[in-house]
Amino acid sequence: MKNEDLLKLVNAGHAVLVGRYLSGVVNARSYLDKVTGKNRELRTVVHTLLAGTKPVLINEYLPDGTDVNTVVIKQQPGKTYAICIGGYEEDKGVARVRLNGVAMEEVL
């Protein structure tokens, strides 16, 4: 993604976060579905991006049926990436961001 593309996203009304990629971890959490009464599993990739001087955790939800052992994280530590923010919350000094359906892209 080039700077012109970032500017187009901002002008279109998207909230964009740019930062240096630090790491990514694949998680699988089990929970009890209250509607069906069955055990379900939530699969996510939690990326850490350094925006300025503050680390930001980015939750990327994986589709049902995804095997967490075969997920490959394409982002490389140290490179600069941009994301469109779908949601933001801060709790006890930890910033968490949800992706807005647009993939994390490297800034060139």
Domain tally, the chain: 1
Q: Which pLDDT band, with edges at 50, 70 and 90, does 108 fall under?
A: confident
Q: Are 6 and 24 in contact (CB under 8 A)?
A: no
Question: What is the percent of the chain with per-residue pLDDT over 70, rounded to a whole number?
Answer: 98
Q: What is the pTM of this model?
A: 0.81
Q: Are 82 and 105 in contact (CB under 8 A)?
A: yes
**Residue 45 class from Cβ within 10 Å (0-12 exposed, 13-18 middle, 19+ buried)?**
buried
CATH of residue 59's domain is: 2.40.50.140
Whole-angstrom distance, CA of residue 11 vs CA of residue 104: 18
Q: What is the domain extent for residue 84?
A: 3-106
- Alpha-carbon dihedral of residues 70, 75, 76, 77, nearest 10 degrees? -100
